[in-house]
Amino acid sequence: MDAQALKAHFFDVRKTTENLVAPLSAEDAQIQSMPDASPAKWHLAHSTWLYETFILKAYDPDHPVFDEDFHYLFNSYYEAEGPRHPRPQRGLLSRPSLQTVMDYRRATDNRMADFLDQMSAHPQWPRIAALITLGCHHEQQHQELLLTDIKHALSCNPTAPTYAPSFPKMITQAPEARWVKMTGGLKKIGHDGTGFAFDNEGPQHQIWLHDHALHNRLVTTADYLQFIEDGGYRTPTLWLSEGWDWVNRHHASAPLYWTQSKDGDWSIFTLYGRQPINWAEPVCHLNLYEADAFATWAGARLPREDELECATLLAMQDDDEAKRKAAIIASHRLHPAPAQLPQNRRMDADDNPSLLQLAGEVWSWTSSSYGPYPGFQPSPGAIGEYNGKFMCNQYVLKGASCLTPAKHWRPSYRNFFPAHAQWQFTGLRLAKDI
Amino acid sequence: MDAQALKAHFFDVRKTTENLVAPLSAEDAQIQSMPDASPAKWHLAHSTWLYETFILKAYDPDHPVFDEDFHYLFNSYYEAEGPRHPRPQRGLLSRPSLQTVMDYRRATDNRMADFLDQMSAHPQWPRIAALITLGCHHEQQHQELLLTDIKHALSCNPTAPTYAPSFPKMITQAPEARWVKMTGGLKKIGHDGTGFAFDNEGPQHQIWLHDHALHNRLVTTADYLQFIEDGGYRTPTLWLSEGWDWVNRHHASAPLYWTQSKDGDWSIFTLYGRQPINWAEPVCHLNLYEADAFATWAGARLPREDELECATLLAMQDDDEAKRKAAIIASHRLHPAPAQLPQNRRMDADDNPSLLQLAGEVWSWTSSSYGPYPGFQPSPGAIGEYNGKFMCNQYVLKGASCLTPAKHWRPSYRNFFPAHAQWQFTGLRLAKDI
Amino acid sequence: MDAQALKAHFFDVRKTTENLVAPLSAEDAQIQSMPDASPAKWHLAHSTWLYETFILKAYDPDHPVFDEDFHYLFNSYYEAEGPRHPRPQRGLLSRPSLQTVMDYRRATDNRMADFLDQMSAHPQWPRIAALITLGCHHEQQHQELLLTDIKHALSCNPTAPTYAPSFPKMITQAPEARWVKMTGGLKKIGHDGTGFAFDNEGPQHQIWLHDHALHNRLVTTADYLQFIEDGGYRTPTLWLSEGWDWVNRHHASAPLYWTQSKDGDWSIFTLYGRQPINWAEPVCHLNLYEADAFATWAGARLPREDELECATLLAMQDDDEAKRKAAIIASHRLHPAPAQLPQNRRMDADDNPSLLQLAGEVWSWTSSSYGPYPGFQPSPGAIGEYNGKFMCNQYVLKGASCLTPAKHWRPSYRNFFPAHAQWQFTGLRLAKDI
Amino acid sequence: MDAQALKAHFFDVRKTTENLVAPLSAEDAQIQSMPDASPAKWHLAHSTWLYETFILKAYDPDHPVFDEDFHYLFNSYYEAEGPRHPRPQRGLLSRPSLQTVMDYRRATDNRMADFLDQMSAHPQWPRIAALITLGCHHEQQHQELLLTDIKHALSCNPTAPTYAPSFPKMITQAPEARWVKMTGGLKKIGHDGTGFAFDNEGPQHQIWLHDHALHNRLVTTADYLQFIEDGGYRTPTLWLSEGWDWVNRHHASAPLYWTQSKDGDWSIFTLYGRQPINWAEPVCHLNLYEADAFATWAGARLPREDELECATLLAMQDDDEAKRKAAIIASHRLHPAPAQLPQNRRMDADDNPSLLQLAGEVWSWTSSSYGPYPGFQPSPGAIGEYNGKFMCNQYVLKGASCLTPAKHWRPSYRNFFPAHAQWQFTGLRLAKDI
């Protein structure tokens, strides 16, 4: 990407973030509902801090620091950058105000504009451009987190406030679930080095893929309701041992944000407020325990990371353009949309059903623990803490969610969360050995 | 108090509360730094809820409820009023906004104005007037809590923000500590029924007071520094058993808000920001464990509730007006002021030193557990939950602090907090048996 | 007490302790079911350690220490004696074995026998004799604790093992509950200095006692069942605020050790194994929260410490010997026995019903926080940690339980436990203001 | 294995377990030092319960159950077998006594002897024989756990008691650490179905192994001391994020059981009591966090499961018998022994150093999360809970420790523990990409 294109991309990302906080009051942007989540104001400041720290301060000796305290307040987890404000107390920072944080964004954006204009001839420009690109991808990650975090925060308010006004109209019928045979063999996964990727996606490497089958679509709320009604949450033998402990400790009986009225009607808290459940939509906000128990109940299993990545690569090479598009299209609304067959098809009756929803709506839990690929090297310097140090007790999620920014996804993308996490837009697709 | 005087008092109290939040941003008013504390916005709403619930809704069948949800959101602990929002999550209520809460206050004040104009002829007026008076005293209690809570919240911000701009000038020399002999015998304590009192202050009743001595003034920061420097926080035999556990669990080595620089200089976080310690001021933000350990180290003990109440009653009857005033005068600043001798005296050399600071600067811990007086009857109805149900594992504090509203104090006042609480303006005066 | 009488008393106490552990296996004597409780083996060793530390090592320069490690292992809480094994880990000390601990007792007893023979002419004999007497009273306290601790430990075994073989026959009808008027005035409470008392019982001092009434007997299981069946554990307004939190945190619905079968039959775990409940017996194993809630439900209140002490002193001076005996007689079985009228009376119809069970069956919770009496001075030296440092957040229990050794009780005795404690033999007697 | 050979194996395993508890008193066998560990008595009973439940009760309709309560008391985690005694309270079961548990073993062994004599002609004999074999392997696992658990329990005793009397003489010089190149390609791992294996070891399956290098021996205490002395425990950038949290929460500064005297001398608690550290021995009792941080510090990484399994398979096929033996020989003492070169070699100077200690001394942490192999099927019935339900947030350990019973090991063996676990005999071997 040349400097002008990068500048345009940078400002596009920056504007998108600010659009996301536009519906929020200063109070909304202040609150933090759990240690895993952050206030919207913090996301605004931290995503700015990254540019200031790793680009402006690193490459511009004359950079006028906006506020020296911000280095302590808005560092997330970079040990190499020194001590920082404790994560669970981010919600207590009433100062700086939202207005000051917006001023910080403005000042940083102005410096970045100048910097981008001047530095494209700098001998280290490729390194600088890579860092700015990383910063943009980082901010895009925070765009999704900002939405999942504010959803959780608003859900703690018994008045069930809305983030966005009106629930979008969606179809109410999902295609039938069907198995798609996937042939194994020697394959390559991981990022091939063309274009941007996080360090954890590489190097591209050979694996032996085993024959297996995948469901053509994500598991729906209707599918999951059957599991609930069949006593899924009361049957220990369906659960991982840790999962069953989790069920009992939390008295879990349905996914996060589901509520059943006294009359038995189910509703779901969304960014559009509380809504009746659409039984065609993908089930969302499952943790790994729930996803795994559902798969066991269904006589199937969670897919592996390599299975989903290979399936995606394959679908993107399909000769049939309609199938290609159906595989990776995503709604980009604030709530997951039901699966849809390739355009203009009312049935999917051939021997090889289309793989749908590989790149959107909800992240797919895998049974693959998040670890280093063979030959993995963290990026040099503090930025090397971005991914590698989290490679323990987390699981890989593939695909993307409806909240994931459009240009942020690629088949090698490795999202990861701990097994108990529920507040992300996480669901599953079934797999089985054949 | 007649209806017009009560109306004036009501609006005076209401205005005072709003003056206290004037320096706060919407973000400041949102945050809650611990379960024991509440957001300023919540104090604003809850103190309003009490009038709406116990007066307007109870006595005005046509009262248009401002927002039905507020009954759930802003009930503090009245079980008889039904379920309520969990205390530790008050800081997550970004909605209603600060502006809406101010509108709620305005609407309620307008209804109260009409109500006060109309109801003074109502057959139940005495009961109504008593409830309004209680509501005003309740709001005055929340005025002090609002300040202690926002002080704690701001102290969690590593940038040490200020609530008020400039630290007031104070004297830097305290009078020498001297013992004052107090003669025992049959005495009466508790409220005599004239004027307002909380139910827990009555009935007035006879006790046998034992001879004892009290220090003429509160313990100062200079006094307390000697305890620290003598290894007070490292000497288990000075502490209550529970206190020593507390020291070890919290690695306590100085009072809350005290910080020592690498050079050994002490500073203290105040509502005026971080300041050097004035060694003449009363030591503040001690919990009972610290107060008790200090007293043991000093070869003395904490006073009992009856000792401080009798001393105050006695001082208020002193023939010497200057001594009378010196006993109960209070600074009403946002930080405790040093003791001062009765006006125009440079020494206090007579045999019977003046008792100072009996009604202000910091609350005095007593060794008296907070329990019911003989014959105690909680008020009828939900309002009876105001005091009685907390009579367990809390200790009585007498006097008042510099934050206590001027007309809120009386000798029979019984403040109470758990032994570990530090965030109130709490200190001590020494006592001993003779 | 002269040296020979003291020696006889000492050996009597020592033998009694060993009789109590006779039914226990090495495994039984090892286990510790919660941090508040101790293994029987630890009680055996600690009660011995006290004599060795404060008498033999203190007064006999040639004392051959049995095992240097025991000073660390078997110190309970004497900070002045240095660091010690953490209380919650007492149950992990498989070494020394029970056999070695019994050898330690034997060796110490032999030294004590010699010591008692030789030291009665020592100039410090009165101080020594006082310490030995204290050691005996200390061991008697541990006799009761040993039984309550082993009861709790055995109750954790789902097979409900027995400590003692056969449940004793008891009457099944309790006298009717009646109010006894108690006249107030200037009274003296506290120990008068004649004979042994712990430091916390003194000094004797004057108090003003208010007129009140007491129930003639302890609250029975039948009384308490009414409270349960009336929804007592589901009615927040009956409970202290802390008590209601406790109910919810522990899902409490009946006293400790009560179990209801599917058929609705109640049984109770006892030192004689699981038994049907005798509805005439005093309710036992209540904590202060439960006792207070019951009293509120019954339209009464908990008595104060001074009320129960004055009532006991009065009953002991009654001219009627049968009434005198009935007031302080105790069963000394391993389970509380029902109240009985003074001997040879089938009714108690006069105007002034007899006060029963003032000195036995179950300890009576009072509303009096455990604090220092006016003029209280802890004993000098390490032994001064015996009582004073626990004077915070504990409540006084008067009377005694059926497990309390016969000669251990006196009217001024002040037992104390935290409000939540249930595993002692604790119940209540109702009081009210008149 | 025919019935007589199986019978001999069964009694050999049973006898071995009892030999292991021979040095323990009834008290030693009672204690449980943490929820992860179990009392020795419980191991004795539970390993017996498994035969009674899954063999005798399942296949012998006339089996006289020894004690009906034992089904509840000694079930470990088999949900399909119903509710069970809570794991953290195993140490509270003073009844049944150690003697009764030994009687239970004796009675069960007698029934098993008859059963083995009679059932070899039963049509289901192969299934029965497989279950008995599983039961023996299960008991062998508990032999190792019994030792690691009692080591932990004794370590909680400040007197540092010994399990075994005299520390064995060991060499004090380890071979130099050298890299061994390992060539990748298509390989097979997992159990091939010949002989016994747990279900989690299968099916055998193809993988693509990447080129890499392994150290010839395990990391030694001397190696690890360098890490400590270089500030390893104080350098956040060396640690996994979770690991650094663990360091701070536990104030970790050395491996479990290491103690440094005031003079700087290091000692280590062993089953032979406290001993000076032998700097040639493999470092032991590391958790995954420590192992990973050490590897990072050393510029290397943890091996993957497939790397260690392939290396072991290769070493076992070496033409050189001395190298073959050196790879898999193990000391079978109660403390890990230093590495030794193949017999009769004083140096290992050729281009391809011998791989040592692949099957003994300490378990090797891998970076491989414990998950299902492609095609994995849990065993049918309750026994299917043996492995599969733990496939979450645990990491694979390869090799074996000096405590692992000799015939229990095979190359496909997959041990697994959570990343924080330290009390097993766990260490590491370094790997790197090439």
Instruction: Please report the DSSP string for B92-153 in residue order.
Output: G---S-HHHHHHHHHHHHHHHHHHHHHHTTSTTHHHHHHHHHHHHHHHHHHHHHHHHHHHHH
C84: chain D residues, CB-CB within 8 Å: none
B396: chain C residues, CB-CB within 8 Å: none
CA distances to A317, A327, A402, C66, C360 from A321, in Å = 9, 10, 22, 89, 90
| Token pair belonging to D323 | 């190298």
Give every CB contact of residue D318 below 8 A, 6+ residues apart in sequence. Answer: D324, D327
| Token pair belonging to A331 | 């709604």
Q: Edge to edge, what strands does the sheet with D266-270 contain?
A: D258-260, D266-270, D273-276
**What is the rounded CA–CA span in Å between residue B113 and residue B4?**
10
Task: Give A343's pLDDT tier (boundaries 50, 70, 90).
Answer: confident
Whole-complex ipTM = 0.95
Concatenate the DSSP letters of all residues of A134-183 into one string.
Answer: HHHHHHHHHHHHHHHHHHHHHHTSTT---SSSSPPP----PPPP-EEEE-
User: CA of B211, closest CA in chain C: separation in Å?
Assistant: 9
A93: chain B residues, CB-CB within 8 Å: 157
Q: Give backbone dihedrals phi and psi of A220, rounded to 5 degrees, phi first.
A: -100, 170
State residue D373's pLDDT score.
97
Q: Stretch C266-278: mean pLDDT, rounded?
A: 97
Per-residue pLDDT of chain B (434 residues; tens, 9 = 90+): 788 999 999 999 999 999 999 999 999 999 999 999 999 999 999 999 999 999 999 999 899 999 999 999 999 999 988 999 999 999 999 999 999 999 999 999 999 999 999 888 888 999 999 999 999 999 999 999 999 999 999 999 999 999 999 899 999 999 999 999 999 999 999 999 999 999 999 999 999 999 999 999 999 999 999 999 999 999 999 999 999 999 999 999 999 999 999 999 999 999 999 999 999 999 999 999 999 999 999 999 999 999 999 999 999 999 999 999 989 888 889 999 999 998 877 666 566 788 999 998 999 999 999 999 999 998 888 888 888 899 999 999 999 999 999 888 999 999 999 999 999 999 999 999 99
State residue D347's pLDDT score.
67
More confident residue, B384 or C170: C170
**For A214-251, what is each residue's pLDDT tens digit?**
999 999 999 999 999 999 999 999 999 999 999 999 99
State residue B304's pLDDT score.
98
State residue D349's pLDDT score.
59
Domain definitions of chain C by residue range: 3-156, 179-221+286-433
Given CA atoms B429, B190, B360, B49 in this order, what sign does their dihedral have? Answer: positive
Alpha helices in C75-195 (DSSP H): 98-119, 125-155
State residue B350's pLDDT score.
64
Question: Looking at the predicted structure, is the pLDDT value of residue D406 above 90?
Answer: no
State residue B362's pLDDT score.
98
**What is the rounded CA–CA span in Å between residue C412 and residue C192?**
9
State residue A347's pLDDT score.
67
Burial of residue A32 (CB within 10 Å: 0-12, 13-18, 19+) is buried
Cβ(D173)–Cβ(D280) under 8 Å? yes
What count of other Cβ atoms lies within 10 Å of the Cβ of residue D12? 12
**For A103-137, what is each residue's pLDDT tens digit?**
999 999 999 999 999 888 888 999 999 999 999 99
Question: Looking at the predicted structure, is the pLDDT value of residue A381 above 90?
Answer: no
| Token pair belonging to A427 | 């669901």
State residue A379's pLDDT score.
86
**What is the rounded CA–CA span in Å between residue A233 and residue A223?**
14
Task: Give C350's pLDDT tier (boundaries 50, 70, 90).
Answer: low
Q: Stretch C223-235: mean pLDDT, rounded?
A: 98
**For C290-344, what is each residue's pLDDT tens digit?**
999 999 999 999 999 999 999 999 999 999 999 999 898 888 899 999 999 988 7
Contact present, C and A (at least 3 Cβ pairs less than 8 Å) = no
**What is the rounded CA–CA span in Å between residue B130 and residue A371?**
68
**What is the rounded CA–CA span in Å between residue A305 and residue A411?**
11
Cβ(C178)–Cβ(C214) under 8 Å? no
CA distances to A392, A393, D376, D425 from D395, in Å = 9, 9, 17, 14
Pairwise CB contact (< 8 Å): B26 & A27: yes
Pairwise CB contact (< 8 Å): D91 & C89: no
C-D CB pairs within 8 A amount to: 82
Chain B adjacent subunits, 3+ CB pairs under 8 A: A, C
Give every CB contact of residue C373 below 8 A, 6+ residues apart in sequence. Answer: C190, C200, C201, C202, C203, C205
**What is the rounded CA–CA span in Å between residue D311 and residue D317?**
10
What count of other Cβ atoms lies within 10 Å of the Cβ of residue B114? 12
Q: Does D3-156 carry CATH code 1.10.287?
A: no
B288: chain C residues, CB-CB within 8 Å: 392
A77: chain D residues, CB-CB within 8 Å: 241
Alpha helices in A52-90 (DSSP H): 57-59, 70-73
Question: Looking at the predicted structure, is the pLDDT value of residue D382 above 90?
Answer: no
**What is the rounded CA–CA span in Å between residue C270 and residue C403?**
12
Secondary structure of residue C158 in the 3-state scheme: coil
The counts of H helices and E strands in chain D are 11, 12
B25: chain A residues, CB-CB within 8 Å: 26, 94-95, 97
Lowest-confidence pick of A309-313, B66-70, C75-79: C75-79
Task: Give C347's pLDDT tier (boundaries 50, 70, 90).
Answer: low
Pairwise CB contact (< 8 Å): C206 & B206: no
B85 near A CB under 8 A: yes
Contact present, C and D (at least 3 Cβ pairs less than 8 Å) = yes
Tell how strand C426-427 and strand C363-369 pair up: parallel
What count of other Cβ atoms lies within 10 Å of the Cβ of residue D93? 25
State residue C349's pLDDT score.
60
**What is the rounded CA–CA span in Å between residue D221 and residue D280?**
6
**What is the rounded CA–CA span in Å between residue B77 and residue B114?**
28
CA distances to A57, B83, B398 from B93, in Å = 37, 16, 34
Q: What is the DSSP letter of A414?
A: -
Pairwise CB contact (< 8 Å): B237 & C80: yes
Residue of A nearest to D372 (CA): A367
| Token pair belonging to B263 | 């050079």
**What is the rounded CA–CA span in Å between residue A428 and residue A398?**
10
Cβ(A339)–Cβ(A402) under 8 Å? no
End-to-end CA distance of chain A: 44
State residue D421's pLDDT score.
98
Beta bridge partners of A215: A179
C156 near D CB under 8 A: yes
Residue of D nearest to A382 (CA): D237
What count of other Cβ atoms lies within 10 Å of the Cβ of residue B372? 18
**What is the rounded CA–CA span in Å between residue C350 and residue B24?**
70
Question: Looking at the predicted structure, is the pLDDT value of residue A345 above 80?
Answer: no
Cβ(C33)–Cβ(C145) under 8 Å? no
D84 near C CB under 8 A: no
Residue of C nearest to D93 (CA): C157
D209's enclosing H/E stretch is strand D205-209
Secondary structure of residue B182 in the 3-state scheme: strand
Cβ(D267)–Cβ(D276) under 8 Å? yes
Site of tokens 């030994």: D102
**For A170-210, what is each residue's pLDDT tens digit?**
999 999 999 999 999 999 999 999 999 999 999 999 999 99
Burial of residue B325 (CB within 10 Å: 0-12, 13-18, 19+) is middle
Average pLDDT value for chain C: 95
Question: Looking at the predicted structure, is the pLDDT value of residue D122 above 90?
Answer: no
D368 near A CB under 8 A: yes
Burial of residue B351 (CB within 10 Å: 0-12, 13-18, 19+) is exposed
Residue of C nearest to B209 (CA): C207
Concatenate the DSSP letters of all residues of C379-410 into one string.
Answer: PSSGGGGTTGGG-SS-EEEES--TTS-GGG--
Cβ(A149)–Cβ(A43) under 8 Å? yes
Cβ(A249)–Cβ(A306) under 8 Å? no
Pairwise CB contact (< 8 Å): B30 & A27: yes
Question: Looking at the predicted structure, is the pLDDT value of residue A349 above 70?
Answer: no
Best D241, D289, D377, D390 residue to mutate vs chain A (most A CBs within 10 Å): D241
More confident residue, D242 or D1: D242
- Place domain B179-221+286-433 in its CATH homologous superfamily: paralog of FGE (formylglycine-generating enzyme) (3.90.1580.10)
Burial of residue B288 (CB within 10 Å: 0-12, 13-18, 19+) is buried
D141 near A CB under 8 A: no
**What is the rounded CA–CA span in Å between residue C246 and residue C244?**
5
**What is the rounded CA–CA span in Å between residue C64 and residue C76?**
22
B392 → closest Cβ in C80, C419, C433 = C419
**What is the rounded CA–CA span in Å between residue A71 and residue B196?**
53
Question: Looking at the predicted structure, is the pLDDT value of residue D351 above 80?
Answer: no
C292: chain B residues, CB-CB within 8 Å: 392
Q: Stretch D419-425: mean pLDDT, rounded?
A: 98
Give every CB contact of residue B173 below 8 A, 6+ residues apart in sequence. Answer: B280, B338
CA distances to A238, A418, B43, D129 from A421, in Å = 19, 6, 34, 43
State residue C352's pLDDT score.
76
Question: Looking at the predicted structure, is the pLDDT value of residue D78 above 80?
Answer: yes
C144 near B CB under 8 A: no
Q: Give backbone dihedrals phi and psi of D377, rounded to 5 degrees, phi first.
A: -130, 120
The residue among C387, C422, C426 whose CA lies nearest residue C403 is C426
C208 near B CB under 8 A: yes
